[in-house]
Chains A and B, each alone.
Chain A
Amino acid sequence: MLKQAIENLGDRTMQGVWRIGFAARFFVAILLHSGTAFRRFGLTIREMYFTGVLSLIIILVSGLFVGMVLGLQGYETLQTYGAEESLGVLVALSLVRELGPVVAALLFASRAGSAITAEIGLMKATEQLSAMEMMAVDPIARVVAPRFWAGVISMPLLAALFSAMGILGGYLVGVQLIGVDEGAFWSQMQSAVDFEQDILNGVIKSGVFGIAITTIALFEGYDAPPTAEGVSGATTRTVVTSSLAVLALDFVLTAFMFRGLS
């Protein structure tokens, strides 16, 4: 009984370590085999259509709504201090620093990450990857690397679009609906938001999130048991793991980036 429990624990630890090692080797393999993704850039563009362009609607609409809610809630709170002119600062800083990269990454993980895992997992289950290897086509270079780079390129652009739409939403609610002064809204925002400290750090954040999400999604798909159950489990794991990874990474990055500010 006890022996069984210890054996189980050992087995799970071994598997966990093995998976981490495999994921690290997989990541290195993607980087090493990225040549094709750039030489035949058409492959990457094709994947950017599926991960980037098709995620546009959900990113733009949710960005708009998040910004509108920020406008409403921020106004309610700021108004009690008579500081409603700072609404622009509140909306812009919270979007550019945190909400833009993080929420866009969470949406990206569930919209594009799950699709990548399911696609690769099914390719493996239907032995398309093995067939490629038989034809001396490297599946990592032909299938995995273009998806990786498409995700890494798309993610910062999607996050920037999310922030821009959010600020537009905050403007619509704050200035057009509630009637905060338009000049104060924009000028206070401009004096408070810094290019390097806020915008560039936001872009770096979303780039890191893009790398994390696509790596996890590709790994889960590549590692999935070749059954219907296995693929569905892998898809679920992709969304859960990459969402957690995004939130944890966000904390680490924020601690490094904004430590000197307070």
Chain B
Amino acid sequence: MNKTILDLWVGLFVIVGFAALLFLTLKVGSMNTVNRSDSYEVTARFENIGGLKTRAPVKIAGVVVGRVADVRLDNETYEAAVTLRLDKRYAFPKDTSAAIMTSGLLGEQYIGLEAGGDSEKLKDKDRVLITQDAVVLENLIGQFLYGKAQEGAPQ
């Protein structure tokens, strides 16, 4: 076969292959992984994190501003220590609160932030002090039943 035609075909093949990779990167995936370089880490402690996993989104007002970087147990207080990696573009007041929420009824769990009013901002390695645990459905049902039973009990 003619060498130039062969070169042309292989060149086309390589271009189309890289175009497919580009398509996968830009259209299918997203480059919104928060890098170590343009992010900062804060910790938060929860008594119960429910089904929260690493890489779960951190949202404020519904916008993803970071990811859960690490989940571990503090062996002294028996609390879950959660490390959040937040995008450097966003700064939050020092008294921002963090709550574990569920998207939809059975969806994945994420951390919802709620901004406070402090004029100082959260910095790297800071700790979010106000936290709200995950809602465990079984406990909720238990409480409901207990309340019902109390209602019906003779005074």
Q: Is B7 an interface residue (CB 8 A)?
A: yes
- Which of B10, B14, B54, B64 has the largest count of A CB atoms less than 10 A from its CB? B10
Closest Cβ–Cβ distance, residue A149 to chain B (whole Å)? 13
Binds A, one of B23-31, B38-46, B123-131: B23-31
Tell me if A69 is interfacial: C-beta within 8 Å of chain B: no
Is A186 within 8 A of B33, CB to CB? no
CB contact between B16 and one of A161, A189, A191, A198 (< 8 Å): that residue: A161
Q: Answer yes or no: B116 CB below 8 A from chain A CBs.
A: no
A189 engages B10 (CB within 8 Å): no
B6 contacts A193, C-beta separation under 8 Å: no
Chief secondary structure at chain A's binding surface: helix
Q: Is the interface of B mostly helix, strand, loop or mixed?
A: helix
A105 interface contact, C-beta 8 A: no
How far is it, in angstroms, between the C-alpha of A228 and the C-alpha of B31 when the chains are bound?
53
Q: B10's contact among A49, A92, A186, A260, by CB below 8 Å, is which?
A: A49
Q: Shortest Cβ distance from A185 into chain B, in angstroms?
A: 11
A45 in contact with B24 (CB, 8 Å): no
Of A45, A96, A157, A167, which one neighbours B17 at CB under 8 angstroms? A157
B73 within 8 A of A: no
**A196-B14 Cα distance, complex, nearest whole Å:** 22
Closest CB in chain B relative to A191 CB, distance in Å: 7
B27 near A157: Cβ-Cβ < 8 Å: no
Chain B CB within 8 A of A16 CB: no
- B20 cross-chain contacts in A, Cβ below 8 A: 157, 160-161, 163-165
Note all chain A residues with C-beta closer than 8 A to B28.
92, 96, 163-164, 167, 189-190, 193, 199
Closest to B30 in A: A190
**A190 vs B24: C-alpha distance in the bound complex, in angstroms?**
10
Q: A45-B6, A92-B28, A195-B25 are known contacts. Are A158 and B33 too (CB-CB below 8 A)?
A: no
State whether A53 touches B29 (Cβ < 8 A). Answer: no
B7 touches A45 (CB 8 A): yes
A158 near B17: Cβ-Cβ < 8 Å: yes
Q: Which residues of A contact B27 (CB under 8 A)?
A: 186, 190
Known: A157-B14, A157-B18. A96 touches B33 (CB 8 A): no
- A187-229 interface with B by 8 A CB criterion: 189-191, 193-199, 203
Q: Does A46 contact B (CB under 8 A)?
A: yes
Whether the pair A195, B13 counts as a contact (CB closer than 8 A) is no
Chain A's closest residue to B7 (CB) is: A45
B29 x A199 contact (CB < 8 A): yes
User: Given A45-B6, A49-B6, A190-B30, is A199 in contact with B13 using a C-beta cutoff of 8 Å?
Assistant: no
Complex: A190 Cα to B33 Cα, angstroms? 11
- Confirm or deny: A249 has a beta carbon within 8 angstroms of a beta carbon on chain B: no
Asked if B25 and A52 make an inter-chain contact with CB atoms under 8 angstroms apart, the answer reads no
For A56, the chain B residues whose CB sits under 8 A away are 13, 16
Q: Which residue numbers of B lie inside 8 Å of A, CB to CB?
A: 1, 3, 6-7, 9-10, 12-14, 16-18, 20-21, 23-25, 27-31, 33, 54-55, 64
